[in-house]
Structure 1
């Protein structure tokens, strides 16, 4: 089926804006691109369209923070757990609807922001590091497989674990990289990709590189003390979009 010019323009704009945001704060591409694309297509197709661009974005984000191999060595246990969860979530997505899970994700984000607002601490995350890593890694992977939005859950884990800005960016992107590879393998096994989809996905990589370059320049100008505030605002906006997407 030939894609319309209007869709190609909309797709390109979504890819550019999402990549720009991701480059500037270290996450956000799938969280912004997925619900926006799902407004003009279905959930599964939206995830398929941005699967390949997401891999490139994750790699660029991890590498841009430096110490690439050290980041992999430190966060690979969390990424592997997330990968297992992603495999479970993707299998569910292939055979069923994920609208209910999108709504649950939105409310989980709002709950976390409520906890932050009233200074309710989740001390068990830092005290029970192994347990919290398994719980959050698995939940993030499953929700990521279902909705393509893994970073929000991982950010909750990272903020409560007192990770630095660099650590948040590298851990979330590494987990999503592992999860996305798993998702692509499963989608390929089920024959979900076609020539049209692959052509558009690979063509969008040019837009991704340009937008990420601009975004990374912007990131360097964001003060460290403002980073967590920016993260929380983006999480709130994501929750609103997910609720809207589910209700319409």
Structure 2
């Protein structure tokens, strides 16, 4: 049975801060929370703890804002359905890998790629991935695998989205659409583990979800005042921080 989760002060602050950042930058919540929770609870259990809050934040970031829920649902799903489809396939594979493979090596490889991308971009060497079907399939599948196995989908997917558009609204909407689908796939694959979660833990997860929703709404207000160039710079620095965190997590897993 999954270990019980308490509503400790540090967990409340962790979810609040991560949600605010997600509201500002459109990403970061799952990696920050899982990075902090994986040490005391383990990677698989950490992913399950943040599953519902993350899915709610992804839905809000995808469907909320200008145009309304109906427009955002139809427009982004119709235009980017191929990216969503390949990410679903990758997510299923990644979630199964989470159950059978030591993810330390995947985390280390991811850290190297993310840090290389962010640092070279900050140095002015913009990486432009081709807007082609093979590129879409490859990046979508890889992002799905990594998202399913580690919840670090955003780090890879943003490389593709940032190369296609400087419109922060498009980047946030499409990214969170793919992240949300990734959560649905994880629920299906990890259903046996999820079934062991106690009622008390579900209660804590429910309260953390409420806190997270309040945080993303607060962060979204800050985001409206953030110019596109500042938004891109913020994401690159967030990627560096997340890359270092993921790499250190991989090293720790290998040392155990």
**TM-score w.r.t. structure 2 length?**
0.88
Q: Could you tell me whether the CA contact under 8 Å between 1:59 and 1:177 is conserved in 2?
A: yes
Matching residue within 133, 136, 151 for 1:148? 151
1:120 Cα deviation from its structure 2 partner: 4.6
Distance 1:88 1:104, change over 3 A: same
Aligned positions, number: 245
Counterpart of 1:174 in structure 2 is 177
Give the Cα–Cα distance (whole angstroms) in 1 for the partners of residues 3 and 106 of structure 2: 32
Moved over 4 A (4+): 1-5, 117-124, 189-193
SS of residue matched to 2:41: coil
1:119 Cα deviation from its structure 2 partner: 4.8
Q: Gapped runs of 5+ residues in structure 2? A: none
**TM-score w.r.t. structure 1 length?**
0.91
Deviates more, 1:65-74 or 1:76-85: 65-74
Q: Gapped runs of 5+ residues in structure 1? A: none
Instruction: Give CA deviations for 1:12-48 in whole Å, capped at 9, x if unaligned.
Output: 2221111111011111111211111112220001000
Say whether residues 1:82 and 2:87 are aligned partners: yes
Counterpart of 1:186 in structure 2 is 189
Q: Could you tell me whether the CA contact under 8 Å between 2:5 and 2:204 is conserved in 1?
A: no
Counterpart of 2:224 in structure 1 is 220
Give the Cα–Cα distance (whole angstroms) in 2 for the partners of residues 204 and 220 of structure 1: 25
1:203 Cα deviation from its structure 2 partner: 2.4
Deviates more, 1:117-126 or 1:56-65: 117-126
Matching residue within 111, 114, 119 for 2:116? 111
Give the Cα–Cα distance (whole angstroms) in 2 for the partners of residues 103 and 37 of structure 1: 18
Give the Cα–Cα distance (whole angstroms) in 2 for the partners of residues 8 and 105 of structure 1: 30
